[in-house]
């Protein structure tokens, strides 16, 4: 399960850099996924994503190494604020990986085990359950934990994750924000989820 677990850890990571404003439906034609990000949210380049991974500090050294060296780079990354930004910057990320054997719920449930070890205060806020994303059978879970960066700042995070198998591939979709206040971003994340289309 190392492949999926390292990807899920990345879904939880805070991002710190930005580039182009996002105001329309975005398509990744190679992967066959389409979504509409919130108006005014910004993108991150792959170089910025890798740099951000290296800023995150996890209590588990193995996960720290996996986050920096073995996690797949995302296809799509959006964040709420341009950087630099004080505090947690809500993010939306889509990663594509080779599919693993098992149902969506069993795969996502198994992935939570290492996350519990990675974050001492990790808890499941909404349990793993079946759902659909873009018309495809999927699994979803919502978790809460605290994330630290290199300078020692601590950010309470509420992260929603979806695992969507499609043939021999699977999408890992993560949407993370604060646990309270306007950066909880529930409405934004709900609208993005409803906009997702996945090609056959």
| Domains defined for the chain, CATH in brackets | 2-198 (3.40.1000.10)
Q: What is the mean pLDDT of residues 110-136?
A: 92
How confident is the model at residue 57, as a pLDDT? 52
Map residue 161 onto helix, strand or coil. strand
If residue 129 lies in a helix (H) or strand (E), which one and from where to where?
A: strand 123-133
Q: What is the mean pLDDT of residues 181-200?
A: 96
45-49 long-range contacts, CB within 8 A, separation 24+: 45/17, 45/19, 46/73, 48/15, 48/16, 48/17, 48/18, 48/19, 49/15, 49/73, 49/74, 49/77
Higher pLDDT, 16 or 173: 173
Which residues does 2 contact at the CB level (< 8 Å), separation at least 6?
66, 70
Counting Cα atoms < 13 Å in the Cβ hemisphere of 29 gives 0
**pLDDT single digits (tens) 48-74:** 555 555 555 555 555 445 444 445 667
How confident is the model at residue 124, as a pLDDT? 97
Higher pLDDT, 117 or 3: 117
């Amino acid at each position: 399960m190392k492949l999926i677990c390292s990807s899920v850890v990345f879904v939880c990571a805070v991002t710190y850099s930005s580039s182009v404003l996002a105001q329309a439906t975005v398509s990744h034609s190679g992967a066959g996924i389409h979504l509409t990000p919130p108006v005014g949210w910004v993108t991150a380049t792959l170089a910025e994503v890798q740099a951000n991974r290296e800023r995150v500090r996890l209590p588990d050294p193995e996960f720290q190494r996996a986050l920096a060296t073995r996690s797949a780079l995302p296809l799509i990354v959006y964040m709420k604020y341009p950087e630099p930004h004080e505090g947690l910057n809500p993010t939306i990320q889509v990663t594509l990986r080779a599919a693993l054997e098992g149902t969506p719920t069993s795969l996502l449930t198994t992935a939570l085990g290492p996350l519990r070890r990675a974050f001492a205060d990790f808890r499941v806020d909404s349990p793993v359950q079946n759902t659909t994303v873009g018309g495809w059978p999927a699994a979803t879970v919502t978790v809460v934990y605290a994330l630290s960066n290199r300078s020692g700042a601590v950010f309470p995070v509420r992260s929603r994750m979806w695992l969507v198998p499609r043939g021999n591939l699977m999408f890992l979709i993560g949407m993370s924000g604060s646990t309270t206040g306007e950066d909880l971003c529930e409405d934004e994340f709900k609208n993005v989820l409803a906009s997702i289309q996945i090609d056959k």
